[in-house]
Amino acid sequence: MLSVFALVLWGAWGFLAKTISDRVSPQGLAFWSTVATVVPVAVFALTDTTGKWTRPHPLALGSGIAYGLALVFFFLALRRGPASVVVPLSGMYIVVPAVLGYIVLKEQVTLTHVLGLICAGLAVLLLSL
């Protein structure tokens, strides 16, 4: 159920970003949408009673830098292209952790997983035509 909430909110995020991308610069859009994330993320972090969130970890910082750069490129792409292509194409980020999980973390990949990734790729291809 949490994944469904995330899916709907990611969809709303992409749609809302596209609706204002012609009225706000990509820089402004990236800045203000990132500032707006501080409140829910801070509330979430404060629910951790272990205190482990207070010490930064290099991989967490790297994750944040990758996320920030991805946002910049996403907002630039939205400014230049249709949301019906940009959002699904950027959603193909799922391939990166799937492949790295298999190669680096030695996670199991089944035929069903491979077929799912192929179908996702075909969906993006068909949406971009």
| Mean pLDDT across 53-81 | 88
Rounded to two decimals, the pTM is 0.76
Tokens of 70: 């991805």
Domain segments of the chain as ranges: 1-81, 83-129
Q: What are the tens digits of pLDDT across the range 3-19? A: 889 888 988 988 899 88
Closest CA to 14 of 38, 27, 31, 33: 33
Q: pLDDT band at residue 66, thresholds of 50, 70 and 90?
A: very high
The whole-number pLDDT of residue 31 equals 93
Q: pLDDT band at residue 84, thresholds of 50, 70 and 90?
A: confident
Cα torsion for 23, 27, 33, 39, to the nearest 10°? -140
Q: What are the tens digits of pLDDT across the range 35-63? A: 999 999 989 988 888 877 777 888 888 99
